[in-house]
Structure 1
Amino acid sequence: MATMFILALMAVFMCSLCDKHPVIESSDIIANYSYMSLTKVPTNLPPHTTVLDLSHNYIQKLETTDFGYLLDLKVLIMSHNQITEIDSKVFDSNNYLEHLDLSNNWLENISSIFPGHLRHLDISSNNFTTLSVCRYLTNLLRLEYLGLGAANILKSDLESVSHLRLQHVFIDLNGLYEYENSSLLVLNTNCLHLSSLSKQKYLFNVLFDAVNTSKLLELSNFGKWEAGKVQDEYISAIVNNSRVTHLTMRNFGLLWTNLVHILQKIWYSSLESLHLYNFTIQGLIYKMQFDYSNTSMKELLIEHVAIEVFIFNQMHLYRLFSEMNIKNLTINNGNLLFMACPLKSSSFEYIDFSNNAITDDVFQNCLTLTKLKTLKLAGNKLQKLSKVSLMTESMTSLQYLDISRNLLDYNEEDCHWSPGIRKLRMVSCSLPNSVFQCLPKNVTMVNLRKNDISGVPLEITHLTNVEYLDLGYNRLSDLPDCTLFPRLMIITVEYNQFPYPSATSLKNCSGLEQINIGNNPFHCFCEIKKFIRERRKSPGKYIGWPDAYVCERPDDLKGVRLKDFYLPEMYCNVFIMVPVIVAPIIIGLFLIFGLCKYFDIPWFLKMAWQLARTKHRARKSKKGYQELKKDFSFHAFVSYSENDSSWVKNIMLPSIQSMDEIRICHHERNFTPGKSIVENIINCIDNSYKSIFVLSPHFVQSEWCHYELYFAHHKLYSENTDNLILILLEPIPQYLIPARYFKLKALMKQRTYLEWPKEKSKRALFWAHLRASIHINLSELEHLSSISDPNVPST
């Protein structure tokens, strides 16, 4: 167990140096037939295929004719099939084959089938009893990657490939039955990867040889180790005889006591870098002594760590890491809530705590991180930007800070950044425009992608050192004023909202070396031509040209690249357009407008149209009332605000009641004493043929007017009658209408209303229109009602 942990630490650089994936070039022709339930190799493959993926199928045999016509084949992936047999000449025609993956099949024996130009060969996870297949690999002098696996690993079998200078050797130990000591030592490789060792019987022997085989070691899928005492002599023997400098471990678990014990032993070994992935800490966590002196360790990376115990003193865990005298510490995706400030001057130069649950209380008032140069806290729970800045104030050597993917809030408080910060990354933080007031004054590179920025404040004067500014994926409507950043060389504003960069902004940013304005909703009209001309003057200045610069409007040009956009000069040159097209049109419009204004034609047309519609509705409503079974006592009920009572009493009522046959229900005259106001309102509306509402700003402020409108609106829909008349006494701005008046807003949008004209000459037509809207013979209605209902006596 101890050895496993040690070995895991050293595989830090293995990921970059021991990549087992094929290198795909842009010119390759790829044929992907994976996961298609194939039982044999297809015969209709494109003849010039260079990359062929037949993994995860049910192919059982590879025959000589399967790949004979694929003369350009470079990469062949046959993993996860059911292959039991391969013809010896199956790859004779594939002179360019470099990458062959036959892992996870059912092979038991392989004859001499491998072409000598192979660079990558993986035959792991098959049914080999021994590694005698290595005898057929002696001619693969260009081989760089070799994947193996067998039930019995013997030294004599691996000696067949000991002369090959391999970059990476992968050995699957799943189902290992026998291991001969010193077998791994014969391998000549820069990187060794052991996987799935389930039997602890061979753990010590395998690890003892592994740590002496290569400086780069990776251990994966070793599972969870049960609680028990780790023998100190085993740990010491492995550590003392190790030549591993970089160790990686994946998918394993370890008791807390064993973890600390093993880590203490490793601290004095040759190990410089330790990477742990999908690591589980088991058992009770408590305080343990640890000596950090005299170590070669420089880097520790832990990603996706899980703790099986929920109740423990978290400071015991944090202290183990905070006091480490290493340069680089990374803990990602570990549900880390906090990290203790080192008790003494720390040697940390690089800290990455991304994708955890850390708040902005971390490292507050911490004076011991003076050597820290890089700090990454992306994807945590930081909240106050000003508090984050205060956290860095004592980190005098800090140069790079990443606090992306935190929901940061900034309310223009004072910010106190470390004076050394040069690069600041705040992507996806929902930051507003005011964030520029809080940026470090010495910063040179700022990344503010995916925020809520719509512009750069013009009062910003302290950002004189900014050289690179990324404002992609925001809400900018134009390029920012580049004069605010006198040293700016590169700016990115892709995926924003401006239709074209203005001439002023282009002029202000003319001194930049590179600009990325691609993927904006460009409006391909005359204004965009100035930008196109500017780009022609500096062909290499605009990043992404021409594919990322595409028209969004008008619709008929959507998808057209700006490079291909053309608009005749006549449409954009006012000196050409005015005499030819615009002048006659303007003259005609002015003439029509003058005549209409002089005779006030629009108003008279509007009122005539409304009057015609009113009479038409009156005729229809007369027929409709044959279906009503009630009598009306009034022609209309009038609703108004007390502030408008003077107009109603002195102007409106005398004008429409001048005809004796029109009866108006007025609350001062017709409300029944002793009844509630609401009951009086309902009765008056119910006994009136129409309801007149005098609208004004005072109306929308009256609570009783609201009730009256509500009941009238209800009657409109419940009885399906056209009983509402709206008179707009004074204009009502939309913002003055309270939210509860949603019915009034809807009515004013859906129904025609009468406007009280200020000119006396128009008022006669207004009164005629109003009288026509409410005039009806009530006795005739009563007669129609009695006809429709024989039980009602005629009056």
Structure 2
Amino acid sequence: MTSGEKVDKIIPRGGSKCCKLSILFFCLLNISTSVAPVTGFVLKSCRISSDTAICVKSKLRAVPKDIPSAVKGFDLSVNRISRIEVSDFKNLPLLTRLDLNRNEILHIDSGAFANLTCLKKLNLNNNKLYELGENIFVGLRNLSELRISRNRIKTVASTSFKYMTNLTFLDISRNKLNKITNVHSILQHLPRLQNLFIQNNNFTTFYSWELTNSSLKLNSLDLSQNPIADFRITADVFPNLTWLNINSCPRKKQMRWDVHNKTFLSRVSTLDISELQMAYGDMKTLLETVNSSLTSLRMNAMKHDLTALINISCTIPTMLTLQLRYNKLSSLTSDIFTLCINVTDLDLTGNQIQFIHVNAFRSLHGLKTLSLSRNGLKSVPPATRNLPTLVELDLSMNNISRLDRDDFANQTKLRRLSLYNNVISALHESVFRDLIRLQILKLQTNHISKLNGAFKKYLRNLTQLRLNANKLTSIKNREFEGLQSLQNLSLHENQINRLEPGCFIGLTNLTNLLLQKNLITEEQLNSNVFNDLINLRRLDFRENRIKYNNYSALSKPPFSNLALLETLAIPSQHRREKSYLPLNFLQGLTNLLEFNIRSIQLIFLHIDMFKYTPKLQTLDISSNELMDLSPDLFSPIQNLQSLYISRTSLQSLDFLIDANLTKLEFLQARKNQYSVISEEMIRSVPALVYVDLQGNSFTCDCDNAWFRQWAENDNQTQVFDAYNFVCNYPPHLKGMKLLKLDVRSCSVDIEFICFICTTCLILLFMVVSFTYQLLRWQLVYAYYLFLALLVDNKNKNKQAPHQYDAFISYNTCDEPWVIRELLPKLEGEQGWRLCLHHRDFEPGKPIVDNITDAIYGSRKTICVISHQYLESEWCSREIQVAR
């Protein structure tokens, strides 16, 4: 039984406090007992970022099985997965976020999410599910957000949602539920649901009694894009509802509105009835239903008489926000908003408005936000001057070609002004004179070629100015002198080729300056134009014309006064000639954290380049023609954490061995000519958690044996896309995957050798033990027999006369008989000379030697056979030796 199944069995089915505590305890327990942080691992199709496994756009047809168990997020969006199986998430108990958006999922096995007891967010949008079966979401007791829109769901089993007792957000829009009764089987199991989105499900009726039998805790309900012809609420089933969207889809039938009691929707504060087709009387009744609480009303693309609807809605005393987008209002008359005295936010985007009466907004005494975006205005309407309380004005995406001196007169409270995507060609010197509180000004994507001193005297509270995508060619002296509070200045995508000395005077609080995609050259940098930007944090020069011909020191380093600068980017300069950087180019940047010089045709970096930037953490020198990097280059930047060296001419990474980059965590070295990655190089960067070596020409031999094993087995460093590393040498292995290389023959397995030796010793010991126990006497006999053979071979050719006539072999027990009977007969009567061991053996000499000498010194051997003789070991040996 898995841990997830155990929790499912012990947690009660109700949504009690005990249930919450049990789930929380389980999740915390898993987190506390997790031993390995999610920092490394080589994955076949994914990568790890922080605590999330990212497998987006990997053409996966199944959920990968090699995901570390400690991840908390899992993004599988935009793949080709067609089925979710029971085992897919079995080993991911800590998962809190799961994204399966944009796949081809047709079926989810029952219990597929059973182990995900800590999951809080699940996204199943844009798949091909046609039904939700029983127990499909078993185990998801802690889930709070479920998105399952844009599928083909027709049926929902009665038990599908019964386990998700903590669900607060459900989006099941754009399916094929057809009948509101299908939603009833969902809601009966979701006591905590607050936000329900069921738009575009082809509902034709909405009857409250079909949806629920009791009150719901819903705060938000989206019924939009459904062809509802009959809308009836007969009971107070939505006592907490504050947000209601019933905007309609294009259709011919009108909706019939029937809410028995006006108090049933008395708390709705935001209502969207865009495109709704309804009889005027029903529309009036609808708006009267929310008369006591409505603060925000959306009536976009309406078919009714808009003026009448505006008058009805504006009589609601609590009405503050009115959205009237895409209603084809070509003009605004003086009386259209007469009754809207309480409205503070008015959105008229996309109405093709070309004329606005000067008194059109006069009755909007408290208006704070006005959007006139996406219309046909050719100038700033004078009607806006009658709005002294206006805080935000949006005039973007019109046809405004010029700004006159009095266009923003009396707008002393305006804080945000949007004029982007117009055709403004120039600014008047005093056009912004009354905008004393303006903080954000958006003028991008116009035709502005001259600023005409518009920012020299006014706008002292401006913090953000966007002038990008215009036609500026130069920035003149003191052009922004009046912008003392400015923090963000966007000048990118112009045609600036000249920065006059002193052009940034007054911008002492500027923190971000964007100058990319202009025509700025190194001469502009050498003129000390940035000396006044003492608080600058970010400076971007990408895609300009900056190029130095040598690395000689500059007499006036361009950034010597920018001590607080943290990010400097000078990549992708459009000049194709080889370039250098002066050795003191970064002088003064003592707080620089990020330096980007990607793709500037750089061929050399002086070893003193970074001695001025001791805090540097990120360095990008990719796409240059650097042939070599000295380890001494990195000596001043020991805090470096990220290094990008892709597409260079470097032949190896060995410079890292002596660079002492002990804090380096991220290394990207794609598409180079690295053939061998040495163990010494990897060991020199102990903090490395991510390395990207895609597109290199690896050698598939024993030189890469260690790297191949490390890439596959190390649990600290993630080697991105290692499963696709391809061999380029030797020729017969070209095209083979590096991780398929057999490296067993490349190293001596000490552990295996120790195992074999130990095994052999144990077996030998066992054989010796068994032999000694069972065959020791046979071995002793064999030993002596062997000695006898040796002596026989030694003495068989000797011709010396025998010393005795016979050697008498007998048992000690038979000695009396030998002395009394045998000895007198043979020596006394026959005259033989006999050899007896108790009489003739040499004292101190080994008994075996005495026996063999006696046998070889006698012509014959006489054995006195008796029972005692046969039982004697020594007698047995004597007869065997004699034989």
TM range (shorter): 0.5 to 0.7
Look up the SS of the partner of 1:526 in the other structure: helix
Give the Å deviation of 1:174: 1.9
Q: In 2, Cα distance between the equivalents of 1:180 and 1:293?
A: 25
Give the Å deviation of 1:549: 4.4
Alpha-carbon contact 1:192-1:213 (below 8 Å) kept = no
Q: Name which of 359, 382, 390 aligns with 1:398.
A: 390
Q: In 1, Cα distance between the equivalents of 2:517 and 2:535?
A: 20
Higher relative contact order structure (alpha carbons within 8 Å, sequence separation ≥ 6)? 1
> Counterpart of 1:439?
432
Alpha-carbon contact 1:441-1:465 (below 8 Å) kept = no
Deviation track 1:240-298 (CA, whole Å, cap 9, x = no partner) reads 74321123456635789748887995896211112467x45377999968659952111
What are structure 1's unaligned runs of at least 5 residues? Answer: 1-26, 32-42, 568-795
Q: Structure 1 residues 439 and 28 mapped into 2: Cα distance closer, same or farther (>3 Å)?
A: farther
> Counterpart of 1:429?
422
Q: Structure 1 residues 209 and 529 mapped into 2: Cα distance closer, same or farther (>3 Å)?
A: farther
Look up the SS of the partner of 1:424 in the other structure: strand
Give the Å deviation of 1:357: 0.9
User: 1:332 and 2:334 equivalent?
Assistant: no
- How many equivalent residue pairs? 505
User: 1:281 and 2:277 equivalent?
Assistant: yes
| Residue identity matched to 1:430 | V
Q: Name which of 558, 562, 577 aligns with 1:556.
A: 577
Look up the SS of the partner of 1:252 in the other structure: coil
| Residue identity matched to 1:449 | Q
> Counterpart of 2:482?
485
Identity of aligned residues (%): 12
> Counterpart of 1:88?
86
> Counterpart of 1:115?
115
Q: In 2, Cα distance between the equivalents of 1:105 and 1:430?
A: 48
Q: In 1, Cα distance between the equivalents of 2:447 and 2:40?
A: 42
Give the Å deviation of 1:402: 1.1
Q: Name which of 191, 195, 209 aligns with 2:195.
A: 191
Deviation track 1:2-48 (CA, whole Å, cap 9, x = no partner) reads xxxxxxxxxxxxxxxxxxxxxxxxx99999xxxxxxxxxxx952575
User: 1:505 and 2:486 equivalent?
Assistant: no
Equivalent runs, 1:404-419 vs 2, <5 Å: 404-410=396-402, 412=404, 414-415=406-407, 416-419=409-412
Alpha-carbon contact 1:272-1:296 (below 8 Å) kept = yes
> Counterpart of 2:18?
none
Give the Å deviation of 1:433: 2.2
Q: Name which of 141, 160, 163 aligns with 1:160.
A: 163
Give the Å deviation of 1:368: 0.9
Higher helix share: 1
Alpha-carbon contact 2:234-2:260 (below 8 Å) kept = no
Deviation track 1:94-140 (CA, whole Å, cap 9, x = no partner) reads 45543053886432751355332333335686344754434x225x4
Equivalent runs, 1:582-661 vs 2, <5 Å: none
Look up the SS of the partner of 1:401 in the other structure: strand
CA RMSD in angstroms comes to: 4.9
| Residue identity matched to 1:160 | Y
Deviation track 1:144-171 (CA, whole Å, cap 9, x = no partner) reads 4364997665766544332x35444647
Give the Å deviation of 1:432: 2.9
Equivalent runs, 1:179-578 vs 2, <5 Å: 179=182, 184-187=187-190, 188-198=192-202, 200=204, 203-207=207-211, 212-222=216-226, 224-226=227-229, 230=230, 234-235=232-233, 237=235, 241-249=238-246, 252=249, 258=255, 269-275=266-272, 279=275, 281=277, 291=288, 294-302=291-299, 305=301, 307=303, 315-321=307-313, 323=315, 325=317, 326-339=319-332, 341-344=336-339, 346-361=341-356, 364-385=359-380, 388=381, 390-410=382-402, 412=404, 414-415=406-407, 416-439=409-432, 441-443=434-436, 444-445=438-439, 446-458=441-453, 463=458, 465-468=460-463, 469-479=465-475, 481-482=478-479, 485=482, 487-490=484-487, 491-506=489-504, 508-531=505-528, 534=531, 538=535, 540=537, 542=539, 548-549=569-570, 556=577
| Residue identity matched to 2:414 | I
* Bigger radius of gyration among the two: 2
Deviation track 1:370-398 (CA, whole Å, cap 9, x = no partner) reads 1001111111111122xx1x212222211
Q: Normalising by structure 1, report the TM-score.
A: 0.53
User: 1:51 and 2:54 equivalent?
Assistant: yes
Q: In 2, Cα distance between the equivalents of 1:89 and 1:292?
A: 51
Alpha-carbon contact 2:417-2:442 (below 8 Å) kept = yes
Q: In 2, Cα distance between the equivalents of 1:261 and 1:346?
A: 30
Q: In 2, Cα distance between the equivalents of 1:370 and 1:401?
A: 15
Give the Å deviation of 1:351: 1.3
Q: Structure 1 residues 107 and 46 mapped into 2: Cα distance closer, same or farther (>3 Å)?
A: closer
| Residue identity matched to 2:422 | C
Q: Structure 1 residues 344 and 211 mapped into 2: Cα distance closer, same or farther (>3 Å)?
A: same
Alpha-carbon contact 1:331-1:353 (below 8 Å) kept = yes
Q: In 2, Cα distance between the equivalents of 1:287 and 1:169?
A: 27
Q: In 1, Cα distance between the equivalents of 2:428 and 2:238?
A: 55
Q: In 1, Cα distance between the equivalents of 2:214 and 2:148?
A: 15
> Counterpart of 1:75?
74
Alpha-carbon contact 1:267-1:295 (below 8 Å) kept = no
Look up the SS of the partner of 2:209 in the other structure: helix
Q: Structure 1 residues 99 and 236 mapped into 2: Cα distance closer, same or farther (>3 Å)?
A: same
Alpha-carbon contact 2:45-2:58 (below 8 Å) kept = no
Give the Å deviation of 1:524: 2.8
Look up the SS of the partner of 1:90 in the other structure: coil
> Counterpart of 1:625?
none
| Residue identity matched to 1:392 | T
Alpha-carbon contact 1:406-1:429 (below 8 Å) kept = yes
| Residue identity matched to 1:381 | G
| Residue identity matched to 2:235 | A
Give the Å deviation of 1:186: 3.6
Alpha-carbon contact 1:551-1:560 (below 8 Å) kept = no
Alpha-carbon contact 1:254-1:280 (below 8 Å) kept = no
Alpha-carbon contact 1:48-1:71 (below 8 Å) kept = no
Deviation track 1:688-738 (CA, whole Å, cap 9, x = no partner) reads xxxxxxxxxxxxxxxxxxxxxxxxxxxxxxxxxxxxxxxxxxxxxxxxxxx
Q: In 1, Cα distance between the equivalents of 2:78 and 2:575?
A: 51
Look up the SS of the partner of 1:274 in the other structure: strand
Larger deviation: 288-297 or 326-335?
A: 288-297
Give the Å deviation of 1:364: 3.0
| Residue identity matched to 1:391 | A
Q: In 2, Cα distance between the equivalents of 1:546 and 1:112?
A: 46
Alpha-carbon contact 2:511-2:536 (below 8 Å) kept = no
Q: Structure 1 residues 538 and 262 mapped into 2: Cα distance closer, same or farther (>3 Å)?
A: same
Q: Structure 1 residues 77 and 350 mapped into 2: Cα distance closer, same or farther (>3 Å)?
A: same
Deviation track 1:40-70 (CA, whole Å, cap 9, x = no partner) reads xxx952575922247999x5xx58xx52466
Look up the SS of the partner of 2:497 in the other structure: coil
Deviation track 1:206-237 (CA, whole Å, cap 9, x = no partner) reads 54569724212223542x245xxx47xx3353
Alpha-carbon contact 1:143-1:166 (below 8 Å) kept = yes
Give the Å deviation of 1:509: 3.1
Q: In 2, Cα distance between the equivalents of 1:376 and 1:266?
A: 33
Larger deviation: 167-176 or 256-265?
A: 256-265
Give the Å deviation of 1:502: 1.7
Q: In 2, Cα distance between the equivalents of 1:512 and 1:78?
A: 42
> Counterpart of 1:141?
142
Larger deviation: 292-301 or 252-261?
A: 252-261
> Counterpart of 1:667?
none
Give the Å deviation of 1:404: 1.1
Alpha-carbon contact 1:453-1:476 (below 8 Å) kept = yes
Q: In 2, Cα distance between the equivalents of 1:384 and 1:418?
A: 16
Alpha-carbon contact 1:359-1:382 (below 8 Å) kept = yes
